[in-house]
Structure 1
Amino acid sequence: MLNRTSKVTFLKVQFIGTGSTLQIGDTHEFFAREKVLAVQRYLPNYFGNEGSFKQEDFQLFREPVPRLLPETGVYSAFYHENPVIRVRAIKIQSISSSAITHIGSTGRIDTETRVKHIRNLPPRNSQ
């Protein structure tokens, strides 16, 4: 991991959602996971079981995620004349769904978000 110093004068984040992270400082490894089932209905009819679902009922949540191949032995070298990264201001509207905003050095990042969005709309001829 390259060692550099990050200096940020101003940071403003409006919203940080579920499964998301704002990390300030160095991190060796970072892992984030989020699984979402979103149900949207044309009419607000609630049956009482909307908050409980079985992940095994949806193939999306069972499928393995393809992983990158391991490193192939490519060697590289970097020289940073200035070891400090200076940023005047960072303004972020939203961080969502297993996303990371990180100020600092990171060795390894592994994130995964799975979203199943179901929309119950009326038939076309009923509008």
Structure 2
Amino acid sequence: MHKRTANVNRIKVIAASNSAIVGIGDVTYSSPVSNIIAVQKEGNVFINEENKYDFNKYPVFSRSPAEHHDHPIRVQEDTTHHVPAIGVNKVDVYGVASSSIFQVGSLGHIDAEARLKHIRILKDEQK
């Protein structure tokens, strides 16, 4: 496949976090991985126990990843580029997070994984 140049006048990214990638240029391979335990507490609930939220306690972090192919799936493709470059005036991105990628340029292969355990602690459950 013939590659084209991407001409971008302005890129504004507000936030990138949790294994997120903001990439400019061509990339052969990328594999962002993110394991997150998010704890949301209602009111003034304080827990002082050390290692209360250990990744080993939650099966989501030890399960095998979803089935994927060890080799790329070949797709027959015929593309006609009418111009040698892609022109974009501006790109505004509010957030890139949890193993996601904002890429300007080509990306040959991606193998991303994000695992999240969300825990909510309510006042009524603390009694």
Tell me if both proteins adopt one fold, taking TM over 0.5 as the criterion. yes
Report the TM-score when normalising by structure 1: 0.84
Q: Write the distance in 2 (CA, Å) between the matches of 1:111 and 1:50.
A: 30
Report the TM-score when normalising by structure 2: 0.84
Q: Write the distance in 2 (CA, Å) between the matches of 1:87 and 1:50.
A: 50
Unaligned runs of at least 5 residues, structure 2: none
Say if 1:2 and 1:105, in contact at 8 Å, map to a contact too: no
Q: What percent identity do the matched residue pairs reach?
A: 27
Q: Write the distance in 1 (CA, Å) between the matches of 2:50 and 2:36.
A: 12
**C-alpha displacement at 1:47, in angstroms?**
2.6
Say if 2:45 and 2:123, in contact at 8 Å, map to a contact too: no
**C-alpha displacement at 1:82, in angstroms?**
1.3
Superposition RMSD in Å: 2.3
Q: Write the distance in 1 (CA, Å) between the matches of 2:115 and 2:25.
A: 27
Write 1 or 2 for the structure with the bigger share of strand.
1
1:8-36 Cα distance to aligned partner (Å, 9 max, x none):
00111111112111000000001100000
Change (3 A) 1:44 1:71: same
- Equivalences for residues 1-127 of structure 1 within 5 A: 2-49=2-49, 53-69=53-69, 70=71, 73-123=74-124
Unaligned runs of at least 5 residues, structure 1: none
Change (3 A) 1:73 1:99: closer
**C-alpha displacement at 1:2, in angstroms?**
4.4
Q: Give aligned pairs, total.
A: 125
